[in-house]
Amino acid sequence: MQTHELKPKHKSKYRMIVGRGGKKGTYSGRGGKGQTARSGRKLAPVIRELIKRYPKLRGYRRQQMPKLTKVVSLDWLEKNYKDGDTVDLKHEAKILANGKLTKKLTIQNVKVSAAAKAAIEKAGGTIK
């Protein structure tokens, strides 16, 4: 027996060649156009994309915003309170010296700037 007379013990499996026209149809077994129809295509798993995107979602590991202080001016106090009233604002607020105050007001549990404090005391009011 010569080497050119050797034959394989098992017949090789038929390998279908696709993507070259022929009898497999218009797409040759590869579906439609695009990334999935090309050779060597690799799509990332969908779950991986979701995991990568998760930290970017709004509110994730987000620092809480500090409490915002509401600014109240002396003009606002002049307009909204009568002479001798007590000002006790429930929310976080600070009185600033914008405008003029002519009424005697008692201020409680509110932050007051130095200039506003001077204006309130000049008008005859008190700060507790």
Q: 70-127, which class in CATH?
A: alpha beta
Domain boundaries, the chain: 70-127
Counted residue by residue, the chain has a size of 128
What confidence tier does 115 reach under pLDDT thresholds 50, 70, 90? very high
Average pLDDT over residues 97-124: 91
Residue 116 has pLDDT above 90, yes or no: yes
C-beta separation of 120 from 96 below 8 A: no
pLDDT per position as a tens digit, 43-88: 777 777 777 776 666 665 556 666 777 888 999 999 999 998 998 8
Residue 25 has pLDDT above 60, yes or no: no
pLDDT of residue 40: 81
Q: Please report which residue ranges of the chain form alpha helices under DSSP H.
A: 46-53, 74-80, 114-122
